[in-house]
Amino acid sequence: MEEIRTLLNLVYILSAITFILGFKLMGRPTTARQGNVLSAVGMAAAIIATLLFPEVVRYTYLAAGLAVGAVIGALFAYRTPMTGMPQMVGLLNGFGGAASLLVAWAEFVARPYQPVYQGVIIWLTVLIGTVTLSGSLVAWAKLEERFIPTKPVLYPGQRVVSVMLLAAILGGGIWFAIDTAASSATQVLLTVTVLAFVLGILLVIPIGGADMPVVISLLNSYSGMAACASGFIIQNNLLIVAGALVGASGIILTLIMCKAMNRSVANVVLGGFGADLPGKAQDVFGEIKPVKPDEAYLILEAANSVVIVPGYGLAVSQAQHAVRELMEVMEKNGTEVRFAIHPVAGRMPGHMNVLLAEANIPYDALVEMDAINPTMDTVDVCMIIGANDVVNPAALEDKSSPLWGMPIIEAHRARTVIVMKRSMGKGFAGVENPLFFRNNTRMLFGDAKASLQSLINEFKSAVS
C-alpha cells in the first residue's frame, strides 16, 4: 500500500513540473500553445493518479461529477465568443472558489474531529472560496450587463457593514475551530459560509464596470489562493504549488492593470470610481474638424507609417475584420501598419490582442504602449478606433483632469490623428478629450465598421 502512495505522490511532483514549465512556455507566443498542452497533460496525470489512491473506492458521484463538469466546461470553451472571454474567465474563477469551498465542507463532514489548526484551515478555505464564488458571480453579472447595474452601487455605511461582516466571520471561525466536533459546529460553519457569500457580493458591487478587469484579475488570484488553502486541508503539495502559481499570476495582472490606470489597488477595491464624477466641464480650446471618408483616404494614402489604436468600441461594432482588410490594402499601398495596444484596452488584461488575433491580424503587428510611444513622432497617421481615455492627452497635461497621471498612448504626437467615432460622446470615465480639438486631429464620424468599409472601397477603387 505504502509503495503505491509514494509512486502516486511522485506523479504529483511531475504534474507540478508541467504546470511550472507550462507557465514558462506561456512567455512566448510561439511556444505558448505547447505550454498549455503540457500543463493539461500534467493535470490529466494528476487526476488519474488520484483515482488510483486506495481510499478512492466509490465511483458513482465521482464519475457523475467528472462527466457533468467536462461537458459543461467543453460547451463553455467552444460556445463563448472572444468578446465574452471576460465573463467566462470571471465565471470560472467563481467555480474554482466553489470547488475549494466544497472540498473543505466535505472534509469537515467526513471527519468532524479536527485539530484546531485544521479547523482554522477549513474555515479559511470556506471563507476564501465563498468570497471568490459570490464576488465572481457579481463580476459576471456586471460584465454581462444583466441583473446588476454596471455602475458602482453605493449605499451609506458600506464599509461599516463589510467590516462588521468580516468581524462576525472571524468570530465564527474561532468558535468553529476551537471544537470542530461540537454539536453547534455545523451551524457555525454554515453561518460563516452564508456571511462570506454576502461579503463577496458587497465587496464587488460598489466597483464600477470600467474597473472589472482589475476585479477579475483579483478574483483570479483568490481562486488560486482557495485551491492553495484546500491543499493544506488534504496536505497535498500539488494543490499548494499550483494554487500559489495562480495566486501570483492574478496578483501580477492586478498590479499591471492598476498601474495602467494610475490607481492604487485600494482605490479600485474600495470602489465608487465613476459614481461621483465632478460635473464641471473642462475648458477645451480649438474646434472639431470633421472629415469625409474620401478626405481621410487621401491622408492615409499618402502615409508611410500608420498606427491604429483600437478600443473596446471596435470589438463591440465587430469591426476587427474590416480593420484587417484595411490593414491589407494599406500594406499593398506600401504603408507600414502597426497596432498600439494599451494595457487596459478591452475588458480584461490582454483582451484586445485576442480580439485582433481572432481577425487574423498577426501578433507581430501588435505593439505595447511602452514600445510605440518613443516612435510616435515619426508616425504619419495615428488612427483611433473606438478608444478614448487611453489617448487623452489631458492625462499628461492637465493636473485637474481625473485621468491625470494615467499612462497613455501618445497619439497626439503623430503628424495627423484620425479619430473614428460614432458621435461626440465621452469615454468610459466621462472625461472630455482635448485630443479631438487639436489642430492635427480629424474626426471621422459614423459607425466604425461602415467608415472602415468606405475607406477600404476608396483604396480598392483607386487601384482599379
Give me the active site residues, please: 389
CB-CB contact of 322 with 449 (8 Å): yes
- 40 near another protein (CB under 8 A): yes
Radius of gyration of the chain measured on its C-alpha atoms: 26
Q: Write each residue from 364 to 383 as x if it is in contact with another protein (CB under 8 A), else as -, in one continuous string.
A: xxx-x---------------
SS3 351: helix
Whole-number minimum distance, CB 44 to another protein, in Å? 9
In the list 83, 96, 269, 414, the residue contacting another protein (rule: CB under 8 A) is 96
- Give the Cα separation of 303 and 381 in Å (integer): 7
Considering only residues 4, 190, 194, 252, which one is a binding residue for another protein as defined by CB under 8 A? Answer: 252
Kindly tell me which residue out of 239, 307, 372, 448 binds another protein, with binding defined by CB under 8 A.
239
Total count of residues recorded for the chain: 464
For residue 178, state whether it binds another protein (rule: CB under 8 A). no
Least distance CB 460 / another protein (angstroms): 22
Least CB distance to another protein at residue 146 (A)? 20
- HSE-up of residue 219 (Cα within 13 Å, Cβ side): 35
Position 233 contacts another protein (CB under 8 A) = yes
Among 29, 149, 278, 405, binds another protein (CB under 8 A): 29
Residues numbered 427-446 forming contacts with another protein, rule: CB under 8 A: none
Rounded CA separation 346/366 (Å): 14
Q: How near is the Cβ of 75 to another protein at its closest, in Å?
A: 8
Give the number of other CB atoms < 10 A from CB of residue 432.
Answer: 19
Q: Which is nearer to another protein, 235 or 264 (CB)?
A: 235
37 binds another protein, rule: CB under 8 A: yes
Q: Which of 114, 193, 223, 388 binds another protein (CB under 8 A)?
A: 223
Rounded CA separation 415/379 (Å): 6
Bridge partners (DSSP) listed for residue 341: 368
- What is d(CA 324, CA 336) in angstroms, rounded to the nearest whole number? 13
Between vectors from CA 52 to CA 49 and to CA 53, what angle results, nearest 5°? 100
Sign of the CA dihedral running 134, 136, 140, 145: positive
Q: Which of 7, 17, 106, 298 binds another protein (CB under 8 A)?
A: 106
Q: Say how far apart CA 298 and CA 396 lie, in whole Å.
A: 31
Q: With binding defined as CB under 8 A, does residue 265 bind another protein?
A: no
Distance CA 122, CA 114 (A): 9
Query: Is 70 among the residues that bind another protein (CB under 8 A)?
Result: yes
Describe the crossing of helices 351-358 and 320-332 by its angle, rounded to 10 degrees: 70
Within positions 328 to 367, which residues make up the interface with another protein, using CB under 8 A? 341, 343, 348-351, 353-354, 357-358, 360, 362-366
Residue 301 or residue 358: which is nearer to another protein going by CB?
358
Axis crossing angle, helix 116-144 with helix 85-110, rounded to the nearest 10? 160
Could you give the string, one character per residue 9-28, with x where binding to another protein holds by CB under 8 A and - elsewhere? ---x------xx-xxx-xxx
238 scored as a contact of another protein (CB under 8 A): yes
Does 288 interact with another protein (rule: CB under 8 A)?
A: no
Nearest-approach distance from CB 242 to another protein, in angstroms:
4
386: buried, middle or exposed (CB in 10 Å: 19+, 13-18, 0-12)? buried
Considering only 2, 3, 55, 287, the residue that binds another protein (CB under 8 A) is 55
